[in-house]
Structure 1
């Protein structure tokens, strides 16, 4: 599960890291993107919007939670972690680059149908086109609100 949300800074983004960001009653302005991960599937959308070839390095996220500095440094340390460790089970919080926010914010309504048609080809089993249209519009609107408030987009992963 991937929830995209906006926050003023990293500290605000990591409040209550165990809770979903798009859940009812949450304090975050968020979009429930279901299985749309930031680096691959969202990366394909960003490539389509920018009209560039997709590359795995197109979206370089920054891992915030669990804190990378406390993570296992070897296979032995990894194996010694308890099974419920957030390093093994999540949740995770990733910060997206500002250029991704700005790319999403700039999608005009007139491009939605074309983007959906091209993006759904990237899925093994494409979701309904109506869902993708709504999702792109919701991500765009979230990015526009973040841009207007000079905020960053984050992804909560569980």
Structure 2
């Protein structure tokens, strides 16, 4: 089984929670369009288009069971990679105060790990992906 360079960030979704971090880092207002992901698995071209197609899927279909893998855009990777050490504490504090972050791991640890992962991905010309279950 291949291994992946990853950050354990269970519960941190790309659009709302990560999106708010990206807005804070960019010093822009948050909106649902700050992070626009692209589904890479299960393949969008095979997704059921109607209720009938959905109901005809086998119970173990990845469209019903997951996991779902979303690609983050390059500008999100680059925003994370560009966070300087001097801003980590301030951003982590502000990010950790958002309502949706309650109960998650310490914001500073996750932020530093995401920033470092983004730097490695950018250096290698790779993208970032978010894996989550349905």
Using the size of structure 1 for normalisation, the TM-score is 0.78
| Residue 155 of structure 1: aligned partner | 130
Query: CA offsets, 1:96-151, max 9 Å, x none?
Result: 100000000011122122112211222346247x7210100000000001111111
Where do 1:68-87 residues align within 5 Å? 68-87=44-63
Deviations 1:1-26 (A, max 9, x none): xxxxxxxxxxxxxxx7xxxxxxxxx5
* CA shift digits 1:31-71 (9 cap, x unpaired): 11111011111001000000111111111111110001111
Secondary structure of the 1:95 match is: strand
Query: Mind listing any 5+ residue stretches in structure 1 that lack a counterpart?
Result: 1-15, 17-25
Rounded to whole Å, the distance in 1 between the matches of 2:14 and 2:73 is: 11
More strand by share: 1
1:142 aligned onto 2:126:
no
Separation in structure 1 between the aligned mates of residue 92 and residue 6 of structure 2, nearest angstrom: 21
Between Structure 1 and Structure 2, which shows a larger proportion of helix residues?
A: 2
1:46 corresponding residue in structure 2? 22
Contact 2:93 2:108 in 1 (8 A): no
Match of residue 23 from structure 1: none
Partner of 1:35: 11
Q: Are the counterparts in 2 of residues 120 and 127 from structure 1 also a CA contact under 8 Å?
A: no
The question of 1:88 aligning with 2:67 is answered: no
RMSD (CA atoms): 1.7
Residues matched between the structures, number: 133
Is the 8 Å Cα contact of residues 61 and 95 (structure 1) preserved in structure 2?
yes
Match of 1:32, SS? coil
